[in-house]
Amino acid sequence: MKRPHAAPKATRKVQHKRQKIDDFPKPLPTKPQRKVRLDELGWKPVSMPDRLEDFEGFYGLEEIDDVAIVKDGTTGNLTFETTKTEEEVGQDIEEAWRREEQEAQRLEKITFGDEKEPEEDETREDKTNHEVTKEVPQKESVDESWEGFSDDEAAQDSQEETTPVSEDEESDEDDRIDGETFGPGAFDILANQPEDEEDEVDVSAWAELNLSEEVLDSLAKLRFSKPTEIQASTIPEIMAGRDVIGKASTGSGKTLAFGIPIVEAFLASRSASEEPKDKGPIALIIAPTRELAHQINAHLIALCDKGDFDAPHVASITGGLSVQKQRRQLEKADIVVGTPGRLWEVISTGQGLLEKFQQIQFLVVDEADRLLSEGHYKELGEILKILEKDDEADDTESGAQRQTLVFSATFGKGLQQKLAGKAKGGSDLMSKQQSMEYLLKKLNFREEKPAFIDANPDSQMASRLKEGLVECAGTEKDLYLYSLLMFYTKKRALVFTNSISAVRRLTPFLQNLALPALPLHSNMPQKARLRSIERFKERPGSILVATDVAARGLDIPKVELVIHYHLPRAADTYVHRSGRTARAEASGSSILICAPEEVGGVRRLIAKVHARAGDAPKSKKTAFFIRTLDIDRRIVSRLKPRATISKQLADTVIAKEKKHSNDDVMRQAAEDLGVNYDSEEFEKEAKGKRGRGTGRKKKEKEASEMTKAEMQALRWELKGLLSQRINTGVSARYLTNGGIDVDALMAGDGNMEFLGTIDGLGLEDEE
Ligand SMILES: Nc1ncnc2c1ncn2[C@@H]1O[C@H](COP(=O)(O)OP(=O)(O)OP(=O)(O)O)[C@@H](O)[C@H]1O
């Protein structure tokens, strides 16, 4: 017998398939039967195929053995009977708790890197062996209560969250974010350009690249006066027909390094052919996350929209949007950008698409090290196989027919080790030769030796990035996060965590403290993800609390601060997270919050990042020592009472949601089976067995039982604390009302008096 598995810290809504009574097992005849309630049993998780576990909103299933469902012949009521003794059931429960505890710990530890693509919602029924499987769609629960929103927006948001969306409305939503109508929004690179179209710049510095008048004209309108280093070095090679591996620091313009030659090829193919194009796309660009795919799409559209030519159709093929619509887009697409999972689904199930994709001139693998890494490679591998079929059919000795372009800021060592089965050792990031060997094994290049262009061999970090760490007790990370954000009030900040549950917890924690925090993680519905990014981009001083789904490629202007709330687990993650700031010649700071026992490991990790990736002779390698920021702990301790209450409130809301969702699941299950569910009675009966939970469980339980009045009292207390001024101990300057008394305290970029000495983080030399 199976039931939906309760998702941790999430509100779930159950879509049950009604089970046919005939399918139910008959009572087991061997041992005496004992009546039980479903919830006092130790359910075991059912392992699911990889693809299903990542379905958006699908958490999983649990099963139980030795339970028979008995239907009363007269009343029709159902009861449950087991052959297990009370003691055996007790042991099962203990085991279930242990498993849950381990799973919770595992989830806390997981780096939710680039997501696998969640699929569209669907209900699956598996009737083998009288088992019914049920989906548990998750609802994003805590992300829309930001006090910083205006009432109108908040009302609109809550309506969007609660109003069921019809299919038509859904596709309207798609319109807003699909490739062609993307327009100004989350990733519009023109957002920061001056309104005055006439205000073009001199683009003579691009002359050496032999670009068309059309593209030069666009660049002038975009006000890109000269190519970045990676653009200057890769564009000529790509336009000469070479396969290229491009490596350059974060925010250095890699998108247009491949985007410009593709648009040039499109323009050339247009002028060469008088017939309307019916051959299919010229380029396929693959990116690891939806946001990044949409962003590449937006960059290409921005480049073309400014030009005086018929722009290519750029299709965005990512999860979370309608497959049918994407298929229609593909029919006329000149350039396709997408994430591997959805691309594979759309290409492999569409008619005639395989042949079209086999004709592409360019295959771009952006953030290649990520896409080729274990756990992400499966669907990309399938796509590559399809393309390679055509290569095999071609009887020439040469490799692929298309050009392959590979870009990233890092090539992580772990990939190569996995590939070669080698042991650890050396830096986390691969040298040029190692990267080349690795990529040649994974990708079918046209050339035997592609051009490997490393625009920043000395450093993968942006030149104007400042790095530092803050040391505090592991249990005080929330408090120090708050303190740091108070220091950097008015700066757009991105806070990285290693787990979705941490995003869910920290967002309301900061919102309660009147900070404009927004969540981003891969379990959020696509609409909510884009909305978070849009708001983050629109509002100066907003804070995006995210998993590593935001670590790669996101190009959000004016992110001035990256905070690593959880430490990155690998050198490349540190590089990419930190690379969300200090982009395109801007300045920015990257700060790690470390427990004392983490400091040694962090220093080693960062020293690796700054070492010259194995290419430089030892004598030339200089040790990098990340500075510790000296925070005035007296002031931090004055912030503690508010942080404590805020945390209590956030934990309570989450615990209550979890309890409600558990109740929902049980009530629905009972309803489907025709029995009554009374949570209080259930609690009473289960007492003694479930009471043997761990400290965390007990705390959760206590939190979930806090009354409305108690919560209200805490809110008032917090409000009172936020309205009080915090004496910084330095002259007459104060913190007030959850933010900073800007006039009194903001000197330069940060509130130096508030935190103490933190020179050297770009605070003194920015303007
Ligand atoms: N030639 C140029 N001059 C000025 N700005 C540019 C130029 N080319 C690109 N940019 C801008 O630089 C920013 C960063 O570019 P892009 O997102 O392509 O960086 P990236 O190297 O791909 O970064 P990451 O490694 O983080 O993905 C973008 O906002 C882009 O519009």
pLDDT at 215: 94
Q: What is the pLDDT of residues 282-318, one digit of tens each?
A: 999 999 988 899 999 999 999 988 777 888 999 999 9
pLDDT digits (tens, 9 = 90+) for 600-612: 989 888 887 887 5
User: Which atom of ligand 1 is least distant from the CA of 250?
Assistant: 25
The residue among 177, 423, 454 whose CA lies nearest residue 317 is 177
Per-residue confidence (pLDDT) for residue 46, from 0 to 100: 55
Return the closest-CA partner of residue 177 out of 164, 186, 168: 186
CA atoms within a 13 Å half-sphere pointing along the CA-CB vector of 10 = 23
The closest alpha carbon to 200, from 224, 172, 233, belongs to: 224
| ipTM over 0.95 threshold | yes
Q: Position of tokens 């009530």?
A: 667
Q: Kindly state if the Cβ of 254 falls inside 6 Å of ligand 1.
A: yes
- As a whole number, mean pLDDT of residues 176-195 equals 43
pLDDT for 640 equals: 94
Q: Could you give the percent of the chain with pLDDT greater than 70?
A: 59
Adjacent-strand bridge partners of 747:
750
State mean pLDDT over 656-675: 65
Confidence of residue 682 (pLDDT cuts 50, 70, 90): low
Ligand 1 binding pocket includes 580 (Cβ within 6 Å): no
Q: Which atom of ligand 1 is nearest to 226's Cα?
A: 1
Residue 243 has pLDDT above 80, yes or no: yes
Give 565's contacts (C-beta < 8 A, 6+ positions apart). 477, 481, 495, 496, 497, 502, 506, 545, 593
Over range 230-248, report the average pLDDT: 95
**Mean pLDDT lowest among 22-26, 253-257, 357-361, 633-637:** 22-26
> According to the model, what pLDDT value does residue 667 have?
65
**Pocket probe mutation, ligand 1, options 555, 578, 590, max atoms within 8 Å of Cβ:** 555
Sheet of strand 465-471, all strands in order from the earlier edge strand to the far edge: 517-520, 543-546, 493-496, 561-564, 588-594, 465-471, 627-628
Predicted confidence band of residue 725 (pLDDT cuts 50, 70, 90): confident
Tell me what the pLDDT averaged over the chain comes to.
71
228 lines ligand 1 (CB under 6 A): yes
Tell whether the model's pLDDT for residue 321 goes beyond 80: no
Q: What pLDDT is stored for residue 174 in this prediction?
A: 36
Q: Is 734 helix (H, G, I), strand (E, B) or coil?
A: strand
User: Band of the pLDDT at 261, cuts 50, 70, 90?
Assistant: very high
Atom 15 in ligand 1: which residue has the minimum CA distance?
Answer: 253
Instruction: Point out which residues pair with 519 in neighbouring strands.
Output: 545
Question: 581 CB under 6 A from ligand 1?
Answer: no
Q: Ligand 1, atom 14: nearest CA belongs to which residue?
A: 251
Q: How confident is the model at residue 57 (pLDDT cuts 50, 70, 90)?
A: very low
Is the CB of residue 295 below 6 angstroms from any atom belonging to ligand 1? no
What are the DSSP E strand ranges found in 510-642? 517-520, 543-546, 561-564, 588-594, 627-628
pLDDT at 152 over 60: no
SS3 226: coil
Q: Which residues pair with 561 in a beta bridge?
A: 493, 589
The tens digit of pLDDT for each residue in 496-537 reads 999 999 999 999 999 999 999 999 998 998 889 889 999 999
Cα 647 versus chain centre, distance: 24
Residue of 254, 258, 299 to mutate, ligand 1, most atoms within 8 A of C-beta: 254
Collapsed DSSP state (helix, strand, coil) of residue 408: strand
Phi, psi of 62 (to 5 degrees): -130, 155
**C-alpha–C-alpha distance, residues 687 and 675, integer Å:** 20
pTM: 0.67
Q: Which of 446, 336, 330 is nearest to 391 (CA)?
A: 446
State the DSSP H helix or E strand holding residue 177, giving kind and residue range, or none if neither: helix 167-177
Q: Which alpha helices (H) appear in 403-487, and where do they start and end? A: 413-420, 432-442, 477-487
Is the CB of 247 inside a 6 Å radius of any atom of ligand 1? no
Expressed in angstroms and rounded, the spacing between residue 560 Cα and the centre of ligand 1 is 16
Which of the pair, 134 or 336, is modelled with greater confidence?
336
Give the separation between CA 74 and CA 88, rounded to whole angstroms: 31
Going by C-beta distance under 8 Å and a sequence separation of 6 or more, which residues neighbour residue 631? 470, 480, 483, 484, 755, 756, 758
How far apart (Å, rounded) are the C-alpha atoms in residues 227 and 682? 68
Q: How far is the CA of 282 from the centre of ligand 1 (A)?
A: 23
Lowest mean pLDDT among 85-89, 240-244, 670-674: 670-674
Whether 306 and 221 have beta carbons less than 8 Å apart is answered as yes
Please tell me the residue having the least CA distance from ligand 1 atom 30: 253
Q: What is the pLDDT of residue 51?
A: 32
Are 289 and 331 in contact by the 8 Å Cβ rule? The answer is no
541 alpha carbon, distance to own chain's centre: 21
| Cα(93)–Cα(85) distance, integer angstroms | 12
